A and B are shown apart, each in its own frame.
Chain A
Amino acid sequence: MQTIVQTVARTLAEEMRRDDRVVVMGEDVGKRGGVFLATEGLFDQFGPDRVMDTPLSEAAIIGAAVGMAVHGLRPVAEIQFADYIFPGFDQLVSQAAKLRYRSGGIFHAPMVVRMPAGGGVKGGHHHSQNPESHFIHTPGLKVVYPSTPTDIKGLLKTAIRDEDPVIFMEPKRLYRAIKEDVPEDIEFTIPLGQAKVLRQGTDLVLISYGGSMAETSKAAEELAKQQISAELIDLRSLMPWDKETVLKSVARLGRVVLVSESPHTLNFMSEVSATICEEILDSLLAPPIRVTGFDTPYPYAQDREYLPGPNRILRAVQKVLEY
C-alpha cells in the first residue's frame, strides 16, 4: 500500500535505475527530498549529478531542462507548486513546446515537468491553482493529471519515456489521502490519452480528473445510495484526451456532468462539452453541465467552498436528470 507522493518517489527511482539518462532537478529536490517528499531518498541513491538542487528560478529550471534534453538527458523537473510555473512559463511556451516544430524535428525536448496542483490545502491563491488550461492551449505540450497511486506510476513512467515535453500535474490534496497497492512491475505503463471508466452506470455520466476525482467519486457513491447509477470516468490525460471513451459513454446515457476545479471560463471541461455537443448532439437528453471552480483567484478563507464538492455536483446531476 502506498500513497501518491510515495509512488512519485518510487517511480522516479525505478526510472532512474532503468535509464541513466533520467535526472531529477528542482528546488529542494536533493537532500531535502522535495518539500512534499516526492523525491525522498533519490539523492542518497543517485547522488548530486542526477538529483540536482537548482537555484530558485523556474525559468532556469525549465530552460535548463530543455537544454539537457536536447543534449541527450531525460530531465524530470519539479516545480514546487503549479502556481509558480509562471516565471518559467515562457521557457515552456517559447522553448519546450515549440522546439520540435520550429526546428522541423531536428531537435526535440523529451522532458517532464512535475508539479503539485490544486486546492483544498489552505494555500490561498498562490498554492492552490490548476493552470492546466494554459498548458493544454499550448501546442507541443502533453498534459496529464492523474488521481491515484497506480495511475501516477503508469503515467509518470510513460511521461518519462515519451519523446515530447509532458506536464505532469499531481493532485496535492490527495498526496497522502489515498493508499493502494500499486503494480510492482517496472514495465507497468499507462498510455497517454486513455481515460479510465471507474464505475459503470445506467443513468448519467460523471467525468472528472485530478484532485476533483475525490469529490466526484463521493458524489457517485451518494447517488448510488439514492438508486441513481452514475458512470464514472477519470480522464487522467488531458492532452491528448480520450474522446472516444467519453463520447461512447455519453452517447449511451445522454446525460453528463463534467467536474473540474479550475476556473469556469475556458476550463478544460468546456472543450469536452463542446466536443460532445459537436459530435453527438442527437444522443443528448440534457445539455452537458460543468461543475467547476469560480472565475476568481483561488480564495483562502473559502478554500473548501471554492472546490466543486459533492453537493454542487449532486445539484448539477439533479438538473441534468430533470431536464
Chain B
Amino acid sequence: MIADTQNFKPFNPDPIAVLSQSGDWIAPFALTLDDETLKTIYKHMLAARLLDERFIKLQRSGKMSFVAPHSGHEAPQVAAAHAISKGTDWLFPYYRDYAMTLALGQSVLEILAQTTGSRLDTAKARQMPMHPGSKTLNIFTGASAIASHIPPAVGTAISMKIRETGQAVLTSFGDGATSEGDFHAAINYAGAKGAPIVFLCENNRLAISVDFNKQTGSETIAIKAKAYGMPGYLVDGMDVLACYYVLKECVENARAGLGPSLVEAQVMRFGAHSSADDDTVYRSKEELELMRQRDPILRMRRFLEKQGLWSDKAEEKFIKETQLAFQTALDTLAEAEKVPLEWMFDDVYAELLPHLAQQKKEFLG
C-alpha cells in the first residue's frame, strides 16, 4: 500500500493512513514536517471547526441564509491548502470548502463578509453563502451548479502546461459531483492532456440524502482514475497527515510534468447536508455517534499531545483567540453599510451596456 519512501502506490484497496486512531505514527516512512507546521495544520482544523459552529449560529440567528457544514471534512481540506503553493497554484473548491480556504489564508473577515452577504464581500454580495473566491490566493469563485467548476479547473491547468508556468491546480468536489457529466468531461480531458491538476473527491458517501451505492456502481471513486489514464489514491479522509502526504505528492508530480491524479478522501459529514436539510430522516443518531469517534481533529490532537506539542492549555488559549477573531470580524461587518442597490447592475459585462444603463436609470429613478 505504501512504499518505504513517500511514494505512494496508486489503486491501493485500503485507504492510506499514517496516523492510528490513537494518534501514533504508523507510516513506513519518517515524518518530515516540522513542529510548527504540525501545530499549524491542527490549528487550521480546529479553527475551521469553530468557524463551522459559528456559521450555524449565524444561520440560526438570521445573519446567514444558508450553511453547508464542513465538520468532518477538515482533514482533506486543510491538507489540500498545505499541499499547494499559496498564491502560486490555483484552487477550484466547491461549496463545502471553507476549511480549505481558511487554511490557505483567507481572512475570517473575508469569509464572513461573503457568508453574510456584506458590503465588504470582495464578490460584492452577489452569491448566497458558501461560495469562496479570492484573486490574491488564486481561489476561483465557484458557481452552485455541482461539478461545473471542474472543466474550468482543467482549462487553467492546460494553460499552465502549454505556457510552462510550473504551477498546478487542485480542485475539490463531493461524491455526488462524480455523477455529473462535467466531472467526466473534465477529468477525461485532463487525462488526455496530461494537465497539472489534482482532483480531490471529498467522499462523505452522501449527496444530500442519497447514499453512495445509489450514486455509482463503482466500488470507489479512486478506481475511476484508471480509465482516465492517471493514478488514483484512496485516502483515510479523517487522517490529515495522510491526506497531506498524498496530496503533496500529487501536486509535486503535477508540477513536475507527470500529469494529473485523482485522490479520494473518505470523510464523514457530521452535520446535515445544509441548514435546509434534516438528516435525522435518513440516518440514525447511533451512526453519527460512531462517526464522531473518528473525528479527524481528535486524531491529530492525540498525535500532537504524544509529541508533546499540544495541551489543554494551548487548546483553551487557541479557542479563545479564534472566537475573539470571529467576534472582531463580525463587529466590523456590523458597522458596514448596506450593499448598494446599484451594484445589481454592475459586472454583468466589463462595461455597462446601453440596455442595462437604461434599466439601471429607470429603476433607480
Known: A91-B151, A99-B141, A100-B349. A67 touches B181 (CB 8 A): no
Contact with B along A125-143 (1 / 0, CB 8 A): 0000000000000011010
Contacts of A164 on B, CB cut-off 8 Å?
A: 349-350
Known: A90-B145, A240-B353. A139 touches B152 (CB 8 A): no
Do residues A63 and B155 form an inter-chain contact, with CB atoms below 8 A? yes
Taking CB atoms and an 8 Å cut-off, the chain A residues in 104-125 that contact chain B are: 104-108
Taking CB atoms and an 8 Å cut-off, the chain B residues in 173-206 that contact chain A are: 181-182, 185-186, 188-189, 192
Bound-state Cα–Cα, A193 to B189, Å: 35
Contacts of A52 on B, CB cut-off 8 Å?
A: 158
The answer to the question of A173 belonging to the interface, with a C-beta cut-off of 8 Å to chain B, is no
Known: A60-B188, A102-B143. A95 touches B181 (CB 8 A): no
Interface residue stretch chosen among B40-48, B123-131, B214-222, B289-297 = B123-131
Known: A68-B158, A98-B143, A100-B347. A90 touches B182 (CB 8 A): yes
Closest B residue by C-beta to A111: B155
The answer to the question of A185 belonging to the interface, with a C-beta cut-off of 8 Å to chain B, is no
Taking CB atoms and an 8 Å cut-off, the chain A residues in 54-79 that contact chain B are: 54-55, 57, 59-60, 62-73, 75
Do residues A60 and B189 form an inter-chain contact, with CB atoms below 8 A? yes
Bound-state Cα–Cα, A50 to B158, Å: 11
Contacts of B126 on A, CB cut-off 8 Å?
A: 101-104
Do residues A94 and B189 form an inter-chain contact, with CB atoms below 8 A? no
Least distance between A246 CB and chain B CB atoms (Å): 12
Bound-state Cα–Cα, A64 to B140, Å: 13
User: CB within 8 A of A101: which of B162, B189, B348?
Assistant: B348
Known: A63-B185, A67-B158. A104 touches B148 (CB 8 A): no
Contact with B along A167-196 (1 / 0, CB 8 A): 000000000000000000000000001000
The answer to the question of B354 belonging to the interface, with a C-beta cut-off of 8 Å to chain A, is yes
Do residues B155 and A68 form an inter-chain contact, with CB atoms below 8 A? yes
Do residues B346 and A105 form an inter-chain contact, with CB atoms below 8 A? yes
The answer to the question of A49 belonging to the interface, with a C-beta cut-off of 8 Å to chain B, is yes
Least distance between B145 CB and chain A CB atoms (Å): 4
The answer to the question of A19 belonging to the interface, with a C-beta cut-off of 8 Å to chain B, is no
The answer to the question of B154 belonging to the interface, with a C-beta cut-off of 8 Å to chain A, is yes
Taking CB atoms and an 8 Å cut-off, the chain A residues in 74-94 that contact chain B are: 75, 87, 90-91, 94
Do residues B347 and A104 form an inter-chain contact, with CB atoms below 8 A? yes
| B interface residue count range (under 10 / 10 to 19 / 20 to 34 / 35 or more) | 35 or more
Do residues B348 and A66 form an inter-chain contact, with CB atoms below 8 A? no
The answer to the question of A163 belonging to the interface, with a C-beta cut-off of 8 Å to chain B, is yes
Known: A106-B122, A106-B141, A107-B141. A71 touches B155 (CB 8 A): yes
Taking CB atoms and an 8 Å cut-off, the chain B residues in 133-182 that contact chain A are: 133-135, 140-141, 143-145, 148-160, 162-163, 181-182
Closest B residue by C-beta to A59: B185
Contacts of A63 on B, CB cut-off 8 Å?
A: 148, 150-152, 154-155, 182, 185-186
Do residues B143 and A60 form an inter-chain contact, with CB atoms below 8 A? no
Contacts of A193 on B, CB cut-off 8 Å?
A: 353-354
Least distance between B361 CB and chain A CB atoms (Å): 14
The answer to the question of B355 belonging to the interface, with a C-beta cut-off of 8 Å to chain A, is yes
Bound-state Cα–Cα, A87 to B135, Å: 29
Interface centre among A50, A99, A103, A142 (most CB of B within 10 A): A103
Known: A100-B350, A107-B135, A140-B348. A67 touches B156 (CB 8 A): yes
Least distance between B115 CB and chain A CB atoms (Å): 14
Bound-state Cα–Cα, A257 to B149, Å: 43
Bound-state Cα–Cα, A108 to B163, Å: 20
The answer to the question of B252 belonging to the interface, with a C-beta cut-off of 8 Å to chain A, is no
Closest B residue by C-beta to A244: B354
Closest B residue by C-beta to A20: B163
Bound-state Cα–Cα, A18 to B300, Å: 54
Taking CB atoms and an 8 Å cut-off, the chain B residues in 345-365 that contact chain A are: 346-350, 353-355
Bound-state Cα–Cα, A52 to B182, Å: 20
Contacts of A72 on B, CB cut-off 8 Å?
A: 159
The answer to the question of B121 belonging to the interface, with a C-beta cut-off of 8 Å to chain A, is yes
Contacts of B122 on A, CB cut-off 8 Å?
A: 104, 106
Do residues B155 and A59 form an inter-chain contact, with CB atoms below 8 A? no
Closest B residue by C-beta to A98: B143
Contacts of B157 on A, CB cut-off 8 Å?
A: 67
Least distance between B305 CB and chain A CB atoms (Å): 41
Contacts of A312 on B, CB cut-off 8 Å?
A: none
Least distance between A141 CB and chain B CB atoms (Å): 9
Least distance between A94 CB and chain B CB atoms (Å): 4
Do residues A64 and B155 form an inter-chain contact, with CB atoms below 8 A? yes
Least distance between A215 CB and chain B CB atoms (Å): 28
Closest A residue by C-beta to B143: A94
Contact with A along B319-352 (1 / 0, CB 8 A): 0000000000000000000000000001111100
5 of the cross-chain contacts (CB-CB < 8 Å) are: A70-B152, A75-B155, A94-B148, A107-B133, A163-B349
Which 4 pairs of residues, A with B, have the shortest CB-CB distance? A63-B151, A67-B155, A64-B155, A104-B124
